[in-house]
Structure formats: C-alpha cells, structure tokens
Structure 1
Amino acid sequence: MGSTSPQAPLTTASSNESEAQTPTDIEKNLEKAKTDEHRDSPDSPSVHAATPGLEKVYTSAKDWDGPDDKGNPRNWPLWKRAYHSGVTALLSFVVTYGTSAYSPGISKVAEDLDVSEEVAILGLSLYVLGLSFGPVVAGGMSETFGRKAVYIWCTPISLLFTLGAGLSKNITSLLITRFFAGVTGSGPLAVGSGTTADVWEPIDWAAAASLWILAPFLGPALGPATAGYPIQKGTWRWGQWLLLCAGGFAWLFALFQQETYKKVILRNRAKKYGLPPPHDPLPPGFAKVKALFNVTVLRALRMLFTEPICTAFAVYCSFTFGVLFAFFPGVTWVFRTVYGFSVGQAGLVFIAIGVGCILGTGVFIFIDRVTYRPQALRLRSEGSEKSVPPEERLYASMLGAIILPISLFWFAWSARSDIHWIVPTVALAFFGAGNQLVFDTAATYLTSVYGPMGSASAMSANNLARYACGAAFPLFAVQMFRGLTIKWAGSLLGFVTIALLPIPFLFYKYGKSIRSKGSIPKSDA
C-alpha cells in the first residue's frame, strides 16, 4: 500500500543517443541504478577536510563518500529518520482519511444537492479512483525534484481542491473537485515506500514499511469515526473541513524535512562543489517523462497480466481493499437499519477496523522478527552473499488469509437485532487485522522477489488494481446488502476470500520455481 542513484561510471551520452534508447534499455538501466542505490557503497572516501572543523570539500559526487557519509539518510540520527518516516505516514494518513470522512454525509449530499444516494456515493468512489494516479503524479516529480517536492507541493494543491469540494453548490463541481483532490493528494502514497528505503537499512525495511503502511489503512478507518457526529449535527461539508484541518497540520509538520532521495542529494552536492553530476539512467527532456510513464504505468500493467506473483497478490489485495471501501456505505447501512444507530454512532463502529489494523501491524512485525530477521542476521554474520528466500516473508499472510473469511462470515451471521451490536463490531476488528497482514506481506514479498525497480512496478500494478476496486465496490455495497440480505451478502464476500486463501500457501511451496519463469528479473534466493 522507488529511488535512484547508481555506482555506474559517469557517462556523457548526447541527448539524441539517450532518446534513442528503447524502453527495454531504459528499464535495464533503471534496474541497475536501483540495485546499486540500495547497496552500501564500498568506494574509497572522496572527500577532504583541509583543516579540522571546516566544512568538508567533496571531490566526487558519483556515490556516497563511503559507508559513513553523513549525507546518507541511513546515517542520520534515529530521531531524524523517525521524523522523516513520520512525515510520510502522516501525509499518507491524511490523504486516505479523505476517502471515508466523506461517507457519513452521503445521504445529506443527496438531499442537499438533489441527487440520488447512488450518485452521491460517486464523491467517495471518484476520490479513491484519483488515488490510483499516484505513480503518474509523483513519478516524474520525484525523479526530477526529489521526494521532498512531492510532499511539499502535492498536499496543499489537494487541499485547495478539498476546499472547492466543501464549497460546491452542485453535484458536478463536487465530483470534479473530489476526483482531483484524490489525484493531486496521491503523491505521498506513491513515494512513501521510497522514503522508507532511503532512510532505513534493508534489514529494518519490513518493520519500517509496515508502520508506514498502517497509516493509509488507519485513515479510512478513522474517517467515519471522527466525521460522523459533526456531519450529523451540521452539514456534509464538515467532512471536507475536517480534512482541511488535518491536511494543514500534516503539511506544517512536513515543512522541516530534508531531501532523502540519493540521486537528488548527490546531484545537489555536485552542483554545490562544481562536480560532474551522478550518472542518470533516464534520458533527458521529454524522453524522461515517456520513460517514467513506461516504467510506472505500462510496465506495471504488463506485470499485472503476465507475472503470476504480481497478478495473484493484486487480485487478493484488490478484493480485500474493495471490501474495506464497500464497508463505508455498507456497514453504515447495516448498523443504522439493524440496530437503529445514528450517523455518528455508525461512524464510531469503524474504530474497530482501526484497532484491527494496529493489531495486525504488531503481529506482522512480531512474525517478521521471529522468522525472516533471524535468518537475515545469520547470513550477515556468516559473511554470506546469499539472500533469505522471499517466501520466508509469507507467514503473516497465511495467518491473515485464515482470519479474513472467518471475520466476514462472523459479521454476516451476527449482524442481527437479537445479537448485541458489539459482536459484529468485533468481527470488523478481525477483518482489519487480516487485511493488514495480507497487504503488509504482499508489499514486502513483492519487494524481495522483484528487487527495488521491479517492485516499484509491481506495487504500482497492485495499487492500480486496489484503488480501482476500492472505487467500484462502494457503488453496489448497499444494494448488495439490501438485495441479498446481510447474511448472504457477507457470506458471498467470505466465500471469495476462501477461494483466495490458498495463494500465500501455494507461493510458499512453489514460489521458487515460479520465480524462475517470466521476463522480469527476480530474486534467485
């Protein structure tokens, strides 16, 4: 739920030569650059300090100045690395909070703007669809200006569209501004994993990434809980005002960050000291935009349909993600219909999903610490160049795959007027935990399988599928619960998760042989 700077020799290809590169050549160059970037540099120091206490004078900007280079974000103090991870998490939380903070006001939108509730739900669906454009929005900006630019510029532009949504007087302007608020706000979601890789050592990625992933899952869970009562007592516009307040605070918190992208740091160093810039695997000018589009979109779509590992986890994650977003109108309707909850009370039910997400993250980190991490430490202590097989990442998803159908059947058959409301609410907490375990595993497994560059495309494919389902499922959720009854609508979702349940088990057993096939480079561990 990437980054670049190679150790390759500096080249001076002309603009025409660069533009003549085929997409495959560009992908190979990017793959090498990404791999080199995430490898510790063994180069000898290329910096001198003429006098103790004076600023160091760099003589090369091709790579880090050895393993202790203070410009390397991984060498920053713990508090500083934690702050930058916090920026990523908070901005990701805010943009996903905007998805569901709208949902308690759907009926009031319909009433106020004189449309059906089905049309009003489009305000939720189009915002979620906009989030799928993250790689397209952030890819070129991150490569050209760095991660910091994405965080600093995307959020305020998104908040301006949110302001427009809150001031909308008709459904057309509301839907347009909601869509573009999602598109422009999606940047932090797209570069968050890159920032995590920038500031943390590979052995800590699983824990750091899972804490970052938690934020965009907590956002949707807490949206109805915090916006429900203000909307009930006032107007649907309160969902947008709360998003503006949260976004403004997050943006102010982000203003103190520094650049973390290796390529941009070295490029700025080269400019400061008048040195040749680091090698850029991307061609210059408009060809760079085309190359990034090829990697972030076209390559992602190709992997989505040709890579079994990418396809399977995209289907799995997109379905559970779709169910999560279907719950915003669906669960609200269930609790208001069965238990007579008000809009505010129904919103509080979603706290259970947030609690489940937190518990799922904790369980994921624990499983990683007792399975994958000890093996990685052992190989490191032995000086081995081998990697831990990626399939050792899959244990958490096996647990999540079992929890998901249990939680959905539990919810479906306990949401009855003669059973206390807390029983189906607890089921939602288990759904949140199972969903978190499956997605955390997918993110770390795809990274281990495809490496830095391949995993960027694999996760882009996963994101496109997830947000497409997240946008579509709310459109039929209430009709499904109303038409099939709560029991059988929930059971239908449960049966689908049973059909998907074998995926992590099959990849654990046959993953190595599956990795040996396909055109995209993969881990051979």
Structure 2
Amino acid sequence: MFKKGVETEKPREPYESSTSSENGMPDAVAAVDIELQEEEQQQGLPAALDWDGPDDPANPRNWPFLDRAFQTLPPALFSFVVTLASPIYTTATQQIQQEFNVSFETAVVPLTTHTIGFALGPMLAAPLSEMFGRKYVYISSFAFFLIFTMASGLAPNIAALCVFRLIAGCLGAPALAVGAGTIGDVWDTHKDGGLAAMFFIMSPFLGSSLGPVFGGLISYHRTWRWTMWLVLLVGGPLYLLFIPFMKETYKPAILKKRAIQRGTPLPPRPKGSEALKKILTVTLVRPVHMLVTEPIVIALSLYTAFTFGVLFLFFAAIPYSFGTQYGFDRRESGLVFCASVFGILLGAVVFGAIDRTIYKKKYEEAIANGRKVPVELRLIGAMVGSFGLPLSLFWFAWTCKASVHWIVPALSVIFFGFGMMLIFLSAATYLVDTYQYLAAASAMAANGLLRYGFGAVFPLFAIQMYTNLGIGWASSLLGFISVTLMAVPFVFYRFGKYFRERSSYDTIKG
C-alpha cells in the first residue's frame, strides 16, 4: 500500500513542479482518480477518456479568463465563510456561560467540535466528488452547512450546540478540501494561476482571523446567537449568487457526461467499495502513515499545526489578556484581530515577492540550462516567517500589561499573522513539490489532520495556562516552543535532499 508511486500522465522533468501536472493542485479526489486509471491500464482495460486535444473547449483551462476567474470565487468565498463561522462566537463565550450555566472550558468546546469537523470533512468530500463531481459537492455540502449553522443558533443547550457545530464543521470542510482541486482544474499555477491559488489559500486564514472581529462587534449589541445569524447573512446570499452559475470543473465528471452524450462506451470502473477503500487510503490511512514515517511531513506538519494551534488559542487568550489588563469588552477584544489580518496580507505579499524574485528566477534558469532547481528554495519564505512567531509571542508576553499602552501588544499580533502565513505557504508548496502527485495529496491531508487537531485542542487549555502562568510566562512558553521550531525550515533547507532521497514515497530526487 505504501510503496513508491508510478507516474501516470506525461513523464515529469526533474525540475518541473508537481503543481504543473494536468490535474493542477493536488487533492484526494484527483489522486484517487489517477490510481483508478493506473489499475485500468495495468489490467489491460480501455484507456480512460481524455480531452480531444490541447485546445479542447471543454477543458476548464481553456475557458475564457473571466469565466475561470468567476469559478475561482465560490471555493474561495465558501472557504472564507466556513472558517469565519469557526471562531465567530468566541468573543461571546461569557454569554454562553451565563445562558447555559457552564464553565469557560465547556463554552469553548463548540469551537473544538467545529474544528474537528474540518479534519473529518475531507473523508466526506472525496467520495462525493468521485461520484458526482465538484459542483454538486459545493451545492449540497454548503447548503447543509448553512442549515446546521442555523441549528447552532437555535441550540437549546450546550450539548446541542456542540453537536450541531460538529456537523456544520464536517459539512463545511468539503469547500476547503475540494477547493484546491477546483483551482487546479481551471488554472495552471505555473503560468497564470498563482494569484488565484494565493486568493484561495488566504481565504480560510482571513476567515479565521476576521471571525472574532465580526463576532465581537455583533455580540456587543446582540446575543451570541446573532453570530450564527451573521454567518447565514453572509453565506446565504453568496450561495444563492454562485450556485446557478457554477460549472463542473472536475475532468472525469466532464468527460463522463460528454461520453454519455456522444454514446461513447465508458471504461469499467472499480466497484464502490473498492473506490471507497482507495479514497480512505488517500484521505486517512496514507496521511497517518506519513505522519509517523516521513520526517519531512512530520516536521513541517508539526510546525504549521503549532502556528494554527496558537491562532486558535488566541481566540480565548486575547480577550482574556486585554480584558484583564485594559478592561476591553468583547467588541474591543475582537478588533485586536485586525492586526492578524494585516499580518496575513503582508505575509502573502512577501511570499509572492520571494517566489518571483528568487524561486521563479532559479526555475527559469534551470529550464534554460537543463538542470533542476532545488525544491528547498520553497522554504525561504518559512525561514523568513519563522522569526515572526517568537518576535510576536515574546513582544506580546511582556508588553500586555496595564502600564503599557494597549496598542503596543496589539501591534505584536501583526507579526504572528505574518509568520503564520509565510510558514504555511512555504510548507504547502514544499510538500507539493517534494512528493509526486499521488503522495502530495496525502501529504497535504496529513498536514490538515494535524493542523486542525491542534486548532481543536489548544483553546481548551488557553485560560488555565494564562491564569496559572500569567500572561507573560504563558505567552513566553509558546515563544520558547516557536524558537525551537524555527530550526525546521533551516534544517530541511540544508538537508532536505537527504530526506527526499530516503523517503519511502515517490519524491523529487536529487
């Protein structure tokens, strides 16, 4: 099951990024389809359907630019809404404590269950996409996400709120999981799709950071239930706007429909149980295996998971810190997260500058000279961003006190968003470029499992840690851990080739 993969489409040059393959950005659905095509070829079955030629108008990459740009909006904005919903109520946890007569730790559990849903959702998205295509995954899953978000706003007790939020997270996650595949369907990320890919990747980070901002503003004048209504007020109109105009972008779904219209016989496909087994392998079994056997996946996933965990911990720690030191209410505490938004945007700009001035230049030189560019150049962004985390955490730790103006610790959050964005973008592109297509989808799934796992757990101990250790030492403890993790991009920049060549999976060698 875990042997090295086989190239399934055109042979890839050593210096060519895996994101430039026909299927674009890796996702579990397309990876499974490639595996199924491999089995057909090995068993001597009819070849899988393909485009009529490079200029086939049915190919989403040949659609008009404005059409492709429009198809980019639904996955990006749906991802924004889904992640906005996750922390949006956290600045109003005191209201939940009072209404349901529960502790703060219990009031935070709905955030945990919603985030756990993000980890479980891809296992739902992959089989649905394989059977029906991406369009219908968006149509069905996002509609039910809105329904269970409404149910969360109507929850009569904390147990119901936790359950409804878990289901909403599971149903919202397909937008995150399938979205990467949609971007890869319609754009060549090496030619003209870089901005679209960046827009999609930034959306969930902006949603997570803006959640407390909007939640704090609305819960200041209304109850916590209005935070759920706000998600509906944002997500509902977007759903009604996009759904009628969305097109199917998934290659097998397009070709299957066209083959039926033309009367072309379809190649036999494995039974549902066999396809489901492969889907679970890509989305769960192989990612878990990589998390315990692949040093590259382990280290980079741990680093991105820690940054994501701290972000979710801040959903509780920042209201507590600014509330105790400066008397901030939920509205003012939520606005502090605007600094994180600014940092995320700054990090994306810096990553783009590094990509264009360093990586793209080396990439073009490699093509011209017939050489391969070291994929470790992808880690330069993480090396820069790694300084942002400890700087932010230590800055916050020892300036968040009543004797220092509140703007000083608030500004520190900018560097956290900056470092988080650079670390994630660098780690994601490095994993995608290091592993061949089949394993790349599982490597990113492994990263997501650990990332959302940390995001679910960290808020649960935030207040205890900040209460027992104090703001200074609690934030410093996180700062010391971030200093230790700073070594990750530097170590793999220097020794990445060593680990790639000894990987049990199919990776870029040399």
TM-score strictly above 0.5: yes
User: Aligned-pair distance for 1:332?
Assistant: 0.8
Amino acid at match of 1:264: A
Q: Are positions 1:415 and 2:400 aligned together?
A: yes
1:187-336 residue pairs with structure 2 within 5 A? Answer: 187-204=174-191, 206-255=194-243, 256-277=245-266, 283-336=270-323
Amino acid paired to 2:303:
Y
Structure 2 counterpart of 1:452 = 437
1:175 to 135, 138, 162: 162
SS of match in other structure, 1:138: helix
Residue number in structure 2 paired with 1:55: none
In the alignment, the residues of structure 1 paired with residue 212 and residue 498 of structure 2 have an alpha-carbon distance, to the nearest angstrom, of: 44
Q: Are the equivalent residues in 2 in contact too, given 1:393–1:444 (CA < 8 A)?
A: yes
* Contact in 1 for aligned 2:2/2:504 (Cα 8 Å): no
Distance 1:378 1:270, change over 3 A: farther
Q: Is the 8 A contact 1:93 1:216 kept in 2?
A: yes
Q: Return the offset for 1:461.
A: 0.6
Q: Give the structure-2-normalised TM-score.
A: 0.90
Q: Which residue of 2 aligns with 1:46?
A: none
Is the aligned partner of 1:362 residue 2:349? yes
Q: 1:165 offset after TM fit, Å? A: 0.8
Q: How does 1:69-218 map to 2 (within 5 A)?
A: 69-204=56-191, 206-218=194-206
- What is the percentage of aligned positions where both structures have the same residue? 44
How far apart are 1:77 and its partner, in Å? 2.0
Is residue 339–residue 414 contact of structure 2 (8 Å, CA) maintained in 1?
yes
Gaps of 5+ in 2: 13-18, 24-46
Q: How does 1:393-432 map to 2 (within 5 A)?
A: 393-432=378-417
Letter in 1 for 2:160: S
Matched, 1:497 2:482: yes
Q: Which amino acid aligns with 2:119?
A: S
Residue deviations 1:355-376, cap 9 Å, x none? 1111111111111011122233
Verify the 8 A CA contact 1:152 1:254 in the aligned structure 2. no
Query: Distance between the aligned counterparts of 1:158 and 1:210, measured in 2?
Result: 24
Give the CA deviation at 1:378. 3.8
Distance 1:39 1:215 in 2: 24
What is the rounded CA distance, in whole Å, between the counterparts of 1:394 and 1:207 in structure 2?
Answer: 19
8 Å contact 2:213–2:337 — kept in the other structure? yes
Distance between the aligned counterparts of 1:249 and 1:423, measured in 2?
38
Hey, what's the Cα distance between the residues in 1 that align with 2:420 and 2:10? 29
Relative distance call for 1:24 and 1:485 in structure 2 (3 A) is: closer
Asked if 2 retains the 8 angstrom alpha-carbon contact of 1:228 and 1:346, the reply is yes
Match of 2:446 in 1: 461
| Residue in 2 that maps onto 1:32 | 8
CA contact (8 A) 2:118 2:170 kept: yes
Of 172-181 and 189-198, deviating more is 189-198
Residue-by-residue CA offset, 1:293-322 (whole Å, 9 max, x unaligned): 112100010001101100001110111100
Q: Is residue 63 from structure 1 mapped to residue 39 from structure 2 by the alignment?
A: no
Q: Shift of residue 38 of structure 1? A: 5.6
Give the partner amino acid of 1:517: R
CA–CA distance in structure 1, aligned partners of residues 341 and 67 of structure 2: 27
Alignment match, 1:49: none
What are the Cα deviations for residues 115-169 of structure 1, in whole angstroms up to 9, with x where unaligned? Answer: 1111111011111111111320111111121111221111110111111111111
Task: Give the direction of change, closer, same or farther, for the CA distance of 1:71–1:381 in structure 2 (3 Å limit).
Answer: farther
Match of 1:483 in 2: 468
User: Matched residues in 2 for 1:360 and 1:130: separation?
Assistant: 27
Aligned equivalent of 2:27: none
Q: Distance in 1 between matches of 2:232 and 2:10?
A: 36
Deviation string 1:337-393 (CA, Å, 9 cap, x unpaired) is 1111111111111111111111111111111011122233344456x4x54321111
Of residues 514-523 and 78-87 in structure 1, the stretch that sits farther from structure 2 once superposed is 78-87
Q: Residue by residue, what CA displacement relative to the aligned partner does 1:221-276 show, whole Å, maximum 9, x if unpaired?
A: 11111121221222110111011112212322331121111121111221111113
Is 1:435 equivalent to 2:420 in the alignment? yes
CA distance in 1, matches of 2:104, 2:372: 52
Q: How far off is 1:436 after superposition?
A: 0.4
Task: Quote the Cα distance in structure 2 between the aligned partners of 1:143 and 1:362.
Answer: 35
Residue in structure 2 matched with residue 10 of structure 1 by the alignment: none
Q: Does the CA-based 8 Å contact 2:5-2:439 persist in structure 1?
A: no
Higher relative contact order, structure no. (Cα contacts within 8 Å, ≥ 6 residues apart): 2
Provide the residue aligned with 1:523 in structure 2: 508
**What is residue 53 of structure 1 aligned with on the other side?**
none
2:29 aligned residue: none
RMSD: 2.1
Contact 1:108 1:235 in 2 (8 A): yes
Which AA in structure 1 matches 2:8? K
**Offset at residue 287 of structure 1 (A):** 1.4
Q: Distance in 1 between matches of 2:158 and 2:173?
A: 23
The AA in structure 1 aligned to 2:153 is G
Check the 8 A contact 1:35/1:451 in 2, yes or no: no
Following the alignment from structure 1 to structure 2, what is the Cα–Cα distance between the partners of residues 463 and 94? Answer: 18
CA distance in 2, matches of 1:279, 1:74: 27
Deviation of 1:196 (Å)? 1.7
One-letter amino acid matched to 1:497: S
- For 2:258 and 2:10, locate their aligned partners in 1 and report how far apart those are by CA, in whole Å: 19
Distance in 2 (CA, whole Å) between partners of 1:163 and 1:339 is 34
Indicate how the Cα distance of structure 1 residues 278 and 309 shifts in structure 2: closer, same or farther if over 3 A, else same: farther
Equivalent residue letter for 2:254: I
| Whole-Å separation in 2 of the counterparts to 1:24 and 1:144 | 25
Structure-2 separation of matches of 1:374 and 1:470: 36
Asked whether 1:473 is paired with 2:458, we answer yes
Asked whether the 8 Å contact 2:5–2:505 carries over to 1, the reply is no
Letter paired with 1:263: P
C-alpha deviation, 1:523, in angstroms: 1.0
